[in-house]
Structure 1
Amino acid sequence: MLIALAQINPVVGDLEYNTGKILEYINKAGAARSDLVVFPELAITGYPAQDLLLNKQFLDAVEIKLQDICRAVGDTGVILGVPMRGNKGLYNAAALMYQGKLRDVQYKSLLPVYDVFDEKRYFEPAEVRKCIVFKGRRLGVTICEDIWNDKDCWNRQRYAIDPLEELVHQGAEIIINLSASPYHYGKYALRTGMLGKLAAKYQVNMVYVNQVGGNDHLIFDGSSVVVNKAGSLCQRLNKFTEDFALINTGELSKGEFNETGQEDIGWIYEALLLGTRDYLFKNGFGRALVGLSGGIDSSVTAAIAAAALGTDNVVGVSMPSRYSSEGSKDDAYLLAENLGIKYRQLHIDNIFKAYTELFNPEGRPIMDLAEENIQARIRGNILMFISNREGQMVLTTGNKSEMAMGYSTIYGDMAGGLSVLADVPKVMVYRLAEYINREKEVIPRNVISKPPSAELRPDQKDEDSLPPYEVLDQILKAYIEDIKPIDEIVAMGFNRGLVLDITRRVDTAEYKRQQAPPGLRVTSRAFGPGRRMPVAQHWHIK
C-alpha cells in the first residue's frame, strides 16, 4: 500500500484555511497515485481548539467543511482528524473518506488530562476499537494518546485499556496514528524510541503523522515517522515545517533510515523560531518590537525575532538610564547593526527624574526597589506606546530562571504580547547565543562574556540577589520540571538553606507569572497550563 503522510500546520479555528490546506495535500497525494493519505489529529480545527469545541455554531461549520472535503475525495483514501458529534456527545475522531463518501470512523479512546492536556473537558472516549478494512488491508487507526499506554514502555499505565494491543490482537497489519504531540526538548527521542519498541513488540509497521506549527504557548515539531515491524526507523519528515512524504508498506523491510535528527540546541532554536513566527502571524501581526538592554536575554530574543520574521520586521529600542553602562549601550547598537534590524535609542532619565522628584522628599533617588521597578515600567510604557502607534507586537525578554524567581517586573519587563524565552533557563540562553553565533558573530562577544545585570542601580549584578545560574538552573529543573521533593534536591549536593530559599521564592512569585504574557514551551514542564498552581496558598516545606 502506498501511503502519503501529510504533515500540515493548521490555524486553530480557521476552517476555511485548514480545509484549503487539506484539499491541497489530498490533490498532491492523488497526483502521486497513493492509496491513502493520512493527516494529523483534529486537522480541520487545529489543535488545541479548546472551548471553541463547546460552540455549536463552530461544530456545525466543521461538519459542513468535512462534507466539502468528503465530496472532493476520489480514489485516494483520506484519514483525517476531526471533532465529530455522536450518540453520547463530542468525539475526537479519525474519519476515513473514499470516493466521495465517509466510509468509517474511529474515535479516540484515551483522553489525557495531565500536563497541558484537558481533553475530557470536550470529548467522550471511544467505547469500541476496531480495525478499519481499506483496500484489502486491516488498518489499526489510533489517535495520539492511544499509543502511549503500553505496559512495557512506562513505569505505570494511566488507563485501564490499551487500544494498540486490542487492534493488534484483531489482526491490524498497519498501525496508523494521527497525532498532535507538542514538542519539548527530548520529546523526539522519547517518541521515536517508544514507536520503535511498540513496532518490534507487536511485529507491526507503524505510520505516525504529527501536526506541525505554533499554537499559543505550544509548539508542534512535526517529525512524523514510519517505523517497520523490526522497530527500525524507515522515514522521518522534516522538523518544524510542513512536509509530505510517500511510503510503500511493502518495502519497509529494506533497511534503516539514516537518522540525522538527534536533538541538540538547534532544535530549541528552531522551535522558538516557529513558535514566534506562528504566534505573531496567527494573531495578525507581522512585526515585532524588542527592548534592547545590551544583555544576553534581549539579544537572543531579538536574534530569534529577526530570523523568524525577517530583519525588516523587527525594531530594537534601546532605553538607557543613568545606570546603563556605556558598554551595554554600545552592545545594543552593535547587535542591531549585526542583525540588520531597525534601531532607536530613547533615554528615560528625564521620565525617571520626574518620578523621583514627585515621590522622594528631597527629590533625588534613594535606591530602593520602587525606583528599580519604575525604570522597568517606564521602558514597558515606551514599548507599548510605540506598539500602539505603529502596530508591532512587543516581545518580552525574561527567561525561565528569572521568571521562576520573580526576578521580573509586572507592567515593566513583563509587558508585551509574547514571552519568547519564558521556558528557556538562563544557562540555555547562553547556549542559544553561541548557537546563533555558530557561523559569525551576531551577538557581540561582550554580551556573552560580561556578568548579567539588570542595571537598575550602580554596579548591580544578578548574583547580588541570585545564586550563580549554573547552580540555580539545576535546582529549578529539579523542583519545577522533575517535581522532586526538597530532600531529594538536597541529596543532589545542594545546601538545604539555599534549596529552601529558591523553592520558596518560586512559590511566592506565582502571582507574577499568572500575569505574564504567554510563553513558548520548550521544556517538559513550563509555567502556565502545564503547571497549574494556586496563587493564594501557603503550602511550603520548611
Structure 2
Amino acid sequence: MKIALAQFNPTVGDFAGNSARILDLACQAKQRGAELAVFSELCLCGYLPQDLLERPAFLERNRTELACLAKRISLPAIVGYAGRAQDSTGKPAANNAALIADGRVVFEQSKMLLPTYDVFDESRYFQPAKSQHVFPFGGEQLGITICEDIWNDKNFWAKRLYECDPVAELVGKGATLLLNISASPYTIDKRNLRRAMLQSLARSHRRPIVYVNQVGGNDSLVFDGSSVALTADGPVAAQARIFEEDLVLFDTATGRGDVRTQPEDELEVAYYALVCGTHDYVCKCGFRQVLVGLSGGIDSAVVAAIAAAAVGPENVLGVAMPGPYSSEGSLRDARQLAQNLGIQFLVLPIEEVFGSYRRTLQHVFEGRPEDVTEENLQARIRGNFLMALSNKFGSLVLSTGNKSEMAVGYCTLYGDMAGGLAVISDVPKTMVYELAGLINRRANGREVIPASTLTKPPSAELRPNQTDQDTLPPYDVLDRILKAYIEGVRSPQEIADHYGFSLELVREVALRVDHNEYKRKQAPPGLKITSRAFSVGRPFPIAQKFVP
C-alpha cells in the first residue's frame, strides 16, 4: 500500500482553511498514486485549541466539518479532530483519529495516553480511550495511535509514565502496520530522541511505522514536522522536511519512500524554528509588518535578522532610540545592521523626553541619588515609542530579551519587555552569540551582523560605562547555572558541586530566578525551543517564600 504522509500547517479554529488544505493535499497524494493519506493530530481544528474545547459550538464544528470533509475528499485519509467522548461520565471530548473513506467515517480511534507535563494539559479537556482496536484496510491491519500513545515503550524508557502501552495492545491484536498522528512540538535535540524512540518501537515489534507530525507555529509552540516512515527493522524509508509543509510517499510493499534531506546542525535547526515560529505568529495573528528596537547590541540584531527572514526585510522596521548614555558606536552598528538586512530604519532620540521626565519628578525625588529608577525610565520611554508606532501603523512589536536576562529579571517591565512576541526569550545569551555567527555564515561571506556588535561587551547603556557584567556573572557561567536550575531542576548545592561554582553565587542566581516570576508573568508570549521555557510549561507561584 502506498501511503502519503501529509504534513501541513494548520491554524487553530480555521476549519475552512484547514479543510481546504487537507483536500488539496489528498488530491495531490491521489495524483501521485497514494492509496491512503495520513494527516496530523487535531489537524482539522488545529493543535492545541486549549479552552476552545470547552465550547460546545467548537466541538460541534469539528463534527460537522469532518462529515463534510468525508463527503468531499478524493482519497481515503486518517484525520485528527476533536470528537465526542463515548463515556457517560467524564470529559465530553475525545482526541480522535478518524479514517474517512467512501464519503463517511469508517473507523475512529481515541487517544489513550493524555499527557499532563510540560506544555500539555490534555486531561483537562479529553476523555481517554479505554482500549485500542485494529482496522483492516488495503491489505494491512492498521494500528492507529495518537502522539503520546507511542511514547511509553518499556524497551526504550528507563521509567515509563503510564501503566498501559497502546502500541503493545495493538500489536497483540494483530496490527501489521503502526500509524501515529502527532502534534509534537520542537525542542532542541528532540528530533534525535523521537527518531531513536520510533526506531526502537519498530525493531521491538517488528512492524513498520508511519509517523505524521504537525508543522508550523501556534502561539509559543513551534512544530518541526519531520514526519517519517520506518521499516520493521528500523531504517528510515520516508522523511519529510523540517518546518515546511510537505507530502512524502511510503510504499509498504517495497519499504521505500521519499526522503528529504534534513540539517544535522542543531543550531541551524533552532534558527529555522525561530524563523518559522515568528512568521506563523505574525501572520496567524493578522499582522503583516513588525517593529524591532535596535540598540546596536547582539540581541536586537539577532531578532531583526530572524524577523527579516520570517516576514521579509520590506516588512521590518528597525527603530534606534539613542539616549544620553548611548554610544556613537551603538547607533552606527544599528544603522549598519539595518542596511545589511535591507530593513527600514528610523532614529527616535529619547534624551529630550527623558529630560522632561526628570524635571517633572525632580521635586518628588529631591535628596535621593539616581539609581535604577532613572535607568528604567529610559527603557520605558523606548517601550512607549515602539508601542506608539505599533498603534499608529498596525505593526507588531518584537521584544528582544533573551532567556538569561528574563531568568534573572535583567529587564524592565513596560520597557524592553514591551511587545507582542518575545522571539528569543527561550534562547540563552551564549546561544544568541552562536545564532549571530550562524546568521553571518549563512550570508556566504557577507557580514550581516556587524563585527563590532559581536565583539563589544554587552551593555544596556542606561548609565555611564555600564556593562551587563556589572550586575550579572559572566554569561558562560550564568547560562550553565540557569540551564541546570530551570531545565535540569537541580538544586543550588547540586549545581555548585557539579561545576565547582560557589554555592553563594548559585543560590543568588536561583533566588533571582524565583523572585522575578512576577515580571515573566507580564511578558509577551515567547517561542519555546528548549525543554523548559518560561512562557509555557513552567507554572510557578509568584507569592512564595521557598528558598532553594
Q: TM-score, normalised by structure 1?
A: 0.97
Q: Which residue of 2 aligns with 1:277?
A: 279
Q: Which residue of 2 aligns with 1:474?
A: 480
Q: Which residue of 1 aligns with 2:125?
A: 122
Q: Is residue 2:56 matched to residue 1:56?
A: yes
Q: Which residue of 2 aligns with 1:21?
A: 21
Q: Is residue 2:17 matched to residue 1:11?
A: no
Amino acid at match of 1:8: F
Amino acid at match of 2:27: N
Q: Which residue of 2 aligns with 1:445?
A: 451
Q: Is residue 2:348 matched to residue 1:346?
A: yes
Q: Which residue of 2 aligns with 1:30?
A: 30
Q: Which residue of 1 aligns with 2:420?
A: 417
Amino acid at match of 2:5: L
Q: Which residue of 1 aligns with 2:510?
A: 503
Q: How far 1:135 sits from its partner (Å)?
A: 2.3
3-state SS in 1 of match to 2:389 = helix
Q: How far 1:355 sits from its partner (Å)?
A: 1.2
Q: How far 1:133 sits from its partner (Å)?
A: 1.0
Deviation per CA, 1:519-539: give whole Å up to 9, x if none.
000101000221110111111
Q: How far 1:255 sits from its partner (Å)?
A: 11
Q: How far 1:367 sits from its partner (Å)?
A: 3.1
Q: Which residue of 2 aligns with 1:301?
A: 303
Q: Is residue 2:540 matched to residue 1:533?
A: yes
Q: Give the whole-Å Cα distance in 1 for the aligned partners of 2:492 and 2:368.
A: 40
Q: Is residue 2:399 matched to residue 1:396?
A: yes
Q: Give the whole-Å Cα distance in 1 for the aligned partners of 2:61 and 2:46.
A: 14
Q: Is residue 2:494 matched to residue 1:488?
A: yes
Contact 1:232–1:256 (8 Å) recurs in 2 = no
Amino acid at match of 1:65: E
Q: Give the whole-Å Cα distance in 2 for the aligned partners of 1:264 and 1:119.
A: 29
Could you say if the C-alpha distance between residues 228 and 263 of structure 1 is closer, same or farther in structure 2, counting changes exceeding 3 Å?
Answer: farther
Q: Give the whole-Å Cα distance in 1 for the aligned partners of 2:361 and 2:251.
A: 74
User: 1:462 aligned to 463, 468, 474, which one?
Assistant: 468
Q: Is residue 2:84 matched to residue 1:82?
A: no
Question: RMSD in angstroms over aligned alpha carbons?
Answer: 1.5
Contact 2:41–2:183 (8 Å) recurs in 1 = yes
Amino acid at match of 2:455: S
Q: Give the whole-Å Cα distance in 1 for the aligned partners of 2:262 and 2:12.
A: 31
3-state SS in 2 of match to 1:408 = coil
Q: How far 1:487 sits from its partner (Å)?
A: 1.9
Q: Give the whole-Å Cα distance in 2 for the aligned partners of 1:486 and 1:365.
A: 36
Q: How far 1:365 sits from its partner (Å)?
A: 10
Amino acid at match of 2:534: F
Q: Which residue of 2 aligns with 1:170?
A: 173
Bigger Cα displacement from structure 2, 231-240 vs 417-426: 231-240
Bigger Cα displacement from structure 2, 167-176 vs 377-386: 167-176
Could you say if the C-alpha distance between residues 9 and 257 of structure 1 is closer, same or farther in structure 2, counting changes exceeding 3 Å?
Answer: closer
Q: Is residue 2:382 matched to residue 1:379?
A: yes
Q: Which residue of 2 aligns with 1:181?
A: 184
Q: Give the whole-Å Cα distance in 1 for the aligned partners of 2:160 and 2:223.
A: 24
User: 1:286 aligned to 288, 293, 303, which one?
Assistant: 288
Amino acid at match of 1:313: N
Q: Give the whole-Å Cα distance in 1 for the aligned partners of 2:333 and 2:366.
A: 32
Q: Is residue 2:529 matched to residue 1:522?
A: yes
Q: Give the whole-Å Cα distance in 1 for the aligned partners of 2:40 and 2:147.
A: 9
Within 5 A, what are the aligned runs for 1:294-333?
294-333=296-335
3-state SS in 2 of match to 1:81 = strand
Q: How far 1:515 sits from its partner (Å)?
A: 0.2
Q: Which residue of 2 aligns with 1:435?
A: 438
Contact 2:36–2:77 (8 Å) recurs in 1 = yes
User: 2:144 aligned to 141, 145, 148, which one?
Assistant: 141
User: 2:134 aligned to 122, 127, 131, which one?
Assistant: 131
Q: Which residue of 2 aligns with 1:223?
A: 226
Q: Which residue of 1 aligns with 2:101?
A: 98
3-state SS in 1 of match to 2:253 = helix
Contact 2:242–2:262 (8 Å) recurs in 1 = no
Q: Give the whole-Å Cα distance in 2 for the aligned partners of 1:86 and 1:109.
A: 12
Q: How far 1:73 sits from its partner (Å)?
A: 3.1
Q: Give the whole-Å Cα distance in 2 for the aligned partners of 1:200 and 1:528.
A: 37
Bigger Cα displacement from structure 2, 401-410 vs 77-86: 77-86
3-state SS in 2 of match to 1:247 = strand
Calculate percent identity across the aligned residue pairs. Answer: 51
Q: Give the whole-Å Cα distance in 2 for the aligned partners of 1:258 and 1:7.
A: 13
Contact 1:140–1:175 (8 Å) recurs in 2 = yes
Contact 2:98–2:105 (8 Å) recurs in 1 = yes
Amino acid at match of 2:421: L
**4+ aligned runs moved over 6 Å, structure 1:** 254-259, 362-365
Amino acid at match of 1:484: R
User: 1:150 aligned to 150, 153, 157, which one?
Assistant: 153
Could you say if the C-alpha distance between residues 343 and 364 of structure 1 is closer, same or farther in structure 2, counting changes exceeding 3 Å?
Answer: farther
Deviation per CA, 1:285-307: give whole Å up to 9, x if none.
01000000000000000110011
Q: Give the whole-Å Cα distance in 2 for the aligned partners of 1:168 and 1:411.
A: 55
3-state SS in 1 of match to 2:27 = helix
Q: Give the whole-Å Cα distance in 2 for the aligned partners of 1:354 and 1:207.
A: 64
Contact 1:367–1:457 (8 Å) recurs in 2 = no
User: 1:202 aligned to 205, 212, 215, which one?
Assistant: 205
Structure 2's unaligned 5+ residue stretches are: none
3-state SS in 2 of match to 1:251 = coil
3-state SS in 1 of match to 2:292 = strand
Q: How far 1:259 sits from its partner (Å)?
A: 6.5
Contact 2:241–2:261 (8 Å) recurs in 1 = no
Contact 2:273–2:529 (8 Å) recurs in 1 = yes
Q: Is residue 2:90 matched to residue 1:71?
A: no
Deviation per CA, 1:235-284: give whole Å up to 9, x if none.
210000100011101111x6996964424211111000000000010000
